Amino acid sequence: MKSSALRIDDALDLIADAQAAACGMDPRHRIVYWNDSATALLGWTSREALGKKCYDVFAGRDVFGNVCCFRDCGVAVASSRGEAPAPFVMDVRKQDGTALRVVTRTIALPSPGAAYRTLVHVFENGDGAALDAILARIKTVVAAPAEPVAGPPEETITLSPREQQILELLAGGYGSINIAARLGLSHATVRNHVQHLLRRLDVHSQVEAVSLAFRRGMLGRDEVGGDGRSRTDE
């Protein structure tokens, strides 16, 4: 069955299916999502980028040479205030140290506001209209989570080896179709694993699952220390 005929209902699957260069940052500015197209465009692998601060990886500057990537940058502040940032141009640092000028489109997931979970940057590489269409579709498929309710301390969640493997692949930029091919499983089986994983983590989307996993130390590094690499131990 062609991928276009399959039901796609999560932001990460939409981005992976469109093969757009994209990354995602949590509210602490840590990179929690990095896909293969971002690697092809910028040179950084997901293992090199995941868990690191976005401003340390991009070292972005505006067209006048001023630093525009830093803690609590204008894009992050605008998103936290409920504003949808407009596309902007910046020069980012590639893995080899050279600069690349990109048009960056940003969407806050699940929606702009103080409770956003992830900021997704999608980098234009030739077809701005196509990226606009991707972002418009993402807005229609990502539902806002319920308001948080005070409760007991967070419980420790121990994932099965398969759940941990799928979580790491999601963070590494793979959509469910790609994961199925990589693991030799059916697409339906992977979707079932993903849905079970979302229920285990009590989140509403794959983006939230990856962001939560970083916050709890289930992937990559925590706020202090660590090497920024995805864990493979169980």
Range of the domain at 199: 3-144+152-215
- Give a yes or no: residue 165 inside a domain: yes
- The alpha helices in the chain, defined as continuous H runs, are 11-18, 36-42, 46-49, 54-58, 74-80, 128-141, 161-171, 176-183, 187-201, 206-215
Residue keyed to tokens 């999560």: 10
For 136, residues 6+ apart whose C-beta sits below 8 A from its C-beta are none
Q: Is 182 within the bounds of a domain? A: yes
Rounded average pLDDT over 178-203: 88
User: Residue 198, SS3?
Assistant: helix
User: Range with the lowest mean pLDDT among 13-17, 186-190, 191-195?
Assistant: 13-17
pLDDT digit string (tens) for 123-138? 876 555 666 666 666 6
The verdict on residue 164 lying in a domain is: yes
CA separation, residue 184 to residues 5, 195, 222 (Å) = 20, 18, 31
Residues 6+ apart with CB under 8 A from 133: none
pLDDT of residue 155: 63
pTM of the model: 0.65
**In percent, how much of the chain has pLDDT > 90?**
20
Residue 126 lies in a domain: yes
Residue 225 in any domain: the answer is no
CA distance 230 to 197: 17
**Distance (Å, whole) CA 159 – CA 87:** 38
Handedness of CA 211, 215, 220, 226 (dihedral sign): positive
- Residue 182 confidence (pLDDT) above 70: yes
Helices and strands in the chain: count of H runs, count of E runs: 10, 5
48 is a domain residue = yes
Q: Is residue 209 part of a domain?
A: yes
End-to-end CA, the chain: 34
Kind of pairing between the strands at 118-124 and 21-25? antiparallel
The pLDDT confidence band at residue 94, using thresholds 50, 70 and 90, is very high
Count of domains forming the chain: 1
Domain CATH code at residue 118 = 3.30.450.20
For residues 47-65, give the mean pLDDT.
91
Q: What mean pLDDT is predicted for residues 163-170? A: 88
**In what helix (H) or strand (E) does residue 31 lie, and over which residues does it extend?**
strand 31-34
Closest CA relative to residue 194, chosen from 203, 233, 214: 203
